[in-house]
Structure 1
Amino acid sequence: MHDELYADGIGEITVSGQIVRIDLVSLSPSERDANGQPKPVFRQRVVMSVESFANSVELMQKALNGLTEAGAVRRMQPPTEVPPAPRRTGSPNFS
């Protein structure tokens, strides 16, 4: 039998040189934030090389694409970009 770990998500990813650290978190059954939502709490850390991390991201992207194609996951549309404010030319002292 192999040990398994459930995580609600990734709390933080830290890169230090050639090492990537991925902190896995779970929602606390007892701790709450200011909005009354369960706080994410650290559970375990995955440590791997940058190369292994890059390969893992590629594999996860393929899995996500398969889930999206199967309709199990819907991708959110990116927010509509707000056009930048017009740039002022000349001195701000003169209108």
Structure 2
Amino acid sequence: MQSEIYADAIGEITVTGTVMRLDLVSLSHTMRDDRGQPVPEHRMRIVMSLEGFANSFEVLQNAMNGLIEAGAIRRNEPDQMPTNPAGASGGATSPNFM
């Protein structure tokens, strides 16, 4: 029998040379942040070669496409940038947004 582990997310990905480390995290049932929200706790690390990750990425992408097609999840569309970040009041705007 194989052991299983549940994770809420990938917390961090680190690449060193040709090795990739994916840290899996789950929300703590005991630790809270300043707002009272559960904080992520490290659960397990997956270590694989970059080639292994590249092969796994294709499998994950196919799974994601199947979930989207089945309607189980929706792809988020990026919000449109406002043309005037200062709003209609005509306040000062940064030249970075012109």
Asked if these proteins are the same fold (TM beyond 0.5), I'd say yes
- 1:16 partnered with 2:16: yes
Judged with a 3 Å threshold, the aligned counterparts in structure 2 of structure 1 residues 55 and 81 are, in CA distance, closer, same or farther, namely: farther
The 3-state SS of whatever aligns with 2:67 is: helix
Give the gaps of 5 or more residues in structure 1. Answer: 87-95
How far apart are the structure 1 equivalents of 2:79 and 2:50? 30
Deviations 1:12-48 (A, max 9, x none): 0000000000000010001011221110000100000
Distance (Å, rounded) in 2 between the aligned partners of 1:27 and 1:77: 27
The aligned counterpart of 2:62 is 62
Amino acid paired to 2:65: N
Distance (Å, rounded) in 1 between the aligned partners of 2:37 and 2:97: 37
Task: Give the unaligned 5+ runs of structure 2.
Answer: 84-95
Where 2:28 maps in the other structure, the secondary structure is strand
Larger Rg: 1
* Structure 2 SS opposite 1:53: helix
TM-score calculated relative to the size of structure 2? 0.82
Return the offset for 1:54: 1.0
Q: How many pairs does the alignment contain?
A: 86
Shift of residue 79 of structure 1?
2.1
Q: Distance in 1 between matches of 2:2 and 2:29?
A: 25
Give the CA RMSD over aligned residues: 1.2
Identity percentage of aligned residues: 56
Aligned position for 2:73:
73
Aligned to 2:88: none
